[in-house]
Amino acid sequence: MNRADALDKTLRQMYAVISFPEGGEPDWEGMKAVFHPQAQLTRVTPEGIDHFDLQSFQAMATEMLDRGVYTAFFEQEIARREHTFGSLAHVLSAYETKRSPEAASCLARGVNSIQLLWEGASWRVLSLLWDEAMPGNPFDLKQLFAAEVSCG
């Protein structure tokens, strides 16, 4: 598989492993395959910024699941822009979260900023930083991706 296809594969896997149906949970083993052991996950919310490694992210997500903050989670990529150089890749990836894959409208939208590292045979995520669209932080795909929009 060439690097471009491998990048696409890792990004698709990333969205797949964090999504889960009613009563389920993220695919934790799958996450370990997609994310580098040194990976950082950074969440920006109006209430504050959280920095996680894989272990603390799992602890946070498990607490949210235990408390019933989420009972299912579907995140889909709606647009992407990639830059690669040597063993590094940076991807700006716009997403929607939905109640179910079939839902007509979404629960939330936002942008993932993803850094990946080429490890010889595949890409792994080294950093995932995300922020969600809010009334004070409007979501404008056209502006975000300027002339380079690739939607799918």
Partner 1 sequence: MARVHKFRISSTRSNDLVCRSMAAAEAKGTMMRRAGHYCGRFLELDGRMLRNFGTCSYLGLDQHPELRQAAIAAVEEYGTQFSISRAYLECALYQGLENNLEKMTGQPTLVAPSTTLAHMAALPVLVRDNDAVVIDQFAHASLHAATELLRDVPVHLVRHSRLDQIDELLQKLSICYERIWLVVDGLYSMFGDFAPFEGLGALLDRWPQLHLYVDDAHATGWLGTHGRGGALMQLGQHNLHQHKRVVVALSLNKSFAAAGGALALPDAELKVRIRRCGGPMLFSGPIQPPMLGAAVASSKLHLRAEHSATQAQLMQRIDYALAAAAQAGLPLATHHRTPVFFIPCDSVDEATNEVQWLINEGFYVCPSAFPAVPVNRPGVRFTITLHNELEDIDALIEAARARGHTCGACPNVEATKWGLIPSKA
Q: Which residues bind partner 1 (CB under 8 A)?
A: 21-23, 45-48, 50-53, 55-56, 59-60, 63-73, 97-100, 102-107, 135
Going 38 to 18 to 138 to 44, the CA torsion angle's sign is negative
- Do residues 81 and 64 touch, judged by C-beta distance below 8 A? no
In the complex, least distance from residue 150 CB atom to partner 1, rounded to whole angstroms: 25
- Judged by beta carbon, residue 73 or residue 95, the one nearer partner 1 is 73
Task: For residue 45, give Cα distances in angstroms to 15, 48, 54, 110, 133.
Answer: 20, 5, 19, 11, 10
- Judged by beta carbon, residue 9 or residue 99, the one nearer partner 1 is 99
In the complex, least distance from residue 30 CB atom to partner 1, rounded to whole angstroms: 20
What are the residue ranges of helices labelled H in the chain? 3-18, 28-34, 54-66, 141-145
Amino acid at 85: F
In the complex, least distance from residue 96 CB atom to partner 1, rounded to whole angstroms: 10
- Judged by beta carbon, residue 40 or residue 122, the one nearer partner 1 is 40
In the complex, least distance from residue 122 CB atom to partner 1, rounded to whole angstroms: 26
- Judged by beta carbon, residue 52 or residue 145, the one nearer partner 1 is 52
